[in-house]
Chains A and B, each alone.
Chain A
Amino acid sequence: MQTEQHQSGADGAENHAGANVDEIMQKVAEHKGCGTSGGSGKASCGSGAGENDLPTEIWEKVKNHPCYSEEAHHHYARMHVAVAPACNIQCNYCNRKYDCANESRPGVVSEKLTPEQAAKKVLAVASTIPQMTVLGIAGPGDPLANPEKTFKTFELVAKYAPDIKLCVSTNGLTLPDHVERLSKYNIDHVTITINMVDPEVGAKIYPWVYYNKKRYHGVEAAKILTDRQLQGLEMLTERGILSKINSVMIPGINDEHLVEVNKAVKSRGAFLHNIMPLISAPEHGTVFGLTGQRGPTAQELKALQDNCEGEMNMMRHCRQCRADAVGLLGEDRSAEFTTDKVMEMEVSYDLEARKAYQEAVEKERQAVVDAKKAELAGLAGEHSDIKMLIAVATKGSGKVNEHFGHAKEFQVYELSTSGAKFVGHRRVDLYCQGGYGEEDSLATIIRAINDCHAVFVAKIGGCPKNDLKAAGIDPVDQYAGEFIEQSAIAYFKDYLDKVKSGEIQHVERGDAQIRQGALTAAEAA
């Protein structure tokens, strides 16, 4: 099945090459129509969109892609290979000199690989983790500033592991030069980081770009960058290659401007917009870290995402992974696949075994969808203005299956009479974060989920239970092992009943703190 998918993808790419631009734009626009309907329509749209919300050919491309489909991210894994160390622009949120095994930011890696080493690693990982469906190249520099290494890696992987989807993440400066080649290699997803469409804003984010053999500074540099990014995006759309836009939310610099960015990229056919919080801890040594530029709070980030959602699909499940991440989103298994270990591994790439495993995953996934639908039916006809957030401890498969004390992150859902909608995740532990280690870890967890009314767990001890209750967060362990969304809707129905009967009073919760960075192997171990 996977091979067929790949083949159909190839055919699709060829068809798109000759397709009418308006036709493609229309398809993209049509599927976003649900986002403008408001209310319940929004809840079923966004990156959580399912089969029924998307044109078939777009759904086929994203359905097993953890970074493009919120639903898929519970079931399928991705990996990045760090073959692209060079970059051609400087960003104030990046420090190119910093490599740390225990630190986690996009762009940080433990080892750089040659394309041959990378291909071997992909085969080793895909043989060990059969739900790994996607290989991305995302740096640590810019993959398209390293075109030979990037495309050589894709060529090798396409040859030996034809069922794996290939994707690339770029700053977009050289994108227009490489669109043809991307199309030729059957890469049907590209992520472009676009933080501005106004060079005056850009000058505050990018000190320089290296373009046409020259280094440009300030507004002039930002103008070149934005022109090239938007041109590249248009060229991808013309060829039917799906584009996701990453934007870093920098309060006071581009936070309000990102609404304009959102409109600009949507009008050029971008499929999904991922607005991420700035990571700017001083110890990372970035310009923004050193100047004390803060990142957004959880509420500020959600407000901006909600504000843009009427315009197009928003991605809410991004973990801002390292450029050598391996496994499910929110999981880091990269320590199992260091170059030394990979080179010693005997790899037998069994396409049939992978296919059989993924068929089982699809059954599991369908069960999650069915359970949610069945529970939603019970909410039909209910109308209430009450909205609330809940945090969920999960190991994947769409279930409440993690012990409170073992959770490295909580997944956050917004509950309303429209159902349960995934709105983000909250990290609750980070190795390199100075200062937190000396504090009571429970206090930091409560700060991270302080905007939630309840926390769903598989199990929880007596002490944290009482502390959570004291903080106004309901610890819920009655749904252990059950499906998240089904449980959340059942809980919400019960909550509404209690509010109606006067047993409890609904109160709004406060803001929460975003912990910086993604999960590292050191923490996961």
Chain B
Amino acid sequence: MAYKIVKDNCTGCSACEPECPNEAISESKDGLFIIDPAKCTECIGHHDQPQCVAVCPIEETCVIDDNYPRYQAA
């Protein structure tokens, strides 16, 4: 599983982008942010908490995307 950003909740504040240890987050054309699931490691091995979730000011915006397999078995 990777994290994804719920478009309707994202304010485009950019807080998540510099915190991602994998450079998986980028700004889209509409000024909002998206996560590249191929790069997302859920911060396992980097930090105790997924950084996008920890820094995002809006609850339920950075959420697990069940469409992707877990990056790394714990």
Contacts and interface: CB of A to CB of B under 8 A. Distances in A.
Interface of A: 85-88, 90, 96-97, 99, 112, 140-141, 145-146, 210, 213-215
Interface of B: 9, 11-15, 19, 31, 47-49, 51, 53-55, 57-58
Given A213-B49, A215-B49, A86 B54 contact: no
A96 B48 CA distance: 25
B21 to A, nearest CB: 9
A85 B47 CA distance: 24
A213 B9 CA distance: 22
Interface of A is mostly: loop
Of the listed residues B12, B31, B51, B57, the one surrounded by the most CB atoms of chain A closer than 10 A to its CB is B57
B44 to A, nearest CB: 14
A120 to B, nearest CB: 19
B48 A90 contact: no
Given A85-B13, A85-B15, 16 more contacts: A85-B12, A85-B14, A86-B13, A96-B13, A96-B57, A96-B58, A97-B9, A97-B11, A112-B12, A112-B31, A210-B54, A213-B47, A213-B49, A215-B49, A215-B54, A215-B55
A242 B66 CA distance: 51
Contacts of A210: 15, 54-55
A90 B57 CA distance: 7
Nearest to B51: A213
B55 A88 contact: yes
Contacts of A99: 11
Given A90-B57, A213-B51, A145 B12 contact: no
B62 to A, nearest CB: 12
A215 B54 CA distance: 5
Contacts of B54: 210, 213-215
A146 B16 CA distance: 11
B12 to A, nearest CB: 7
A418 to B, nearest CB: 46
26 contacts: A85-B11, A86-B55, A87-B13, A87-B15, A87-B57, A88-B15, A96-B13, A96-B57, A96-B58, A97-B11, A112-B12, A112-B31, A140-B13, A141-B13, A141-B15, A210-B55, A213-B19, A213-B47, A213-B51, A214-B47, A214-B48, A214-B49, A214-B54, A215-B49, A215-B53, A215-B54
Nearest to B10: A97
A141 B16 CA distance: 13
A86 B14 contact: yes
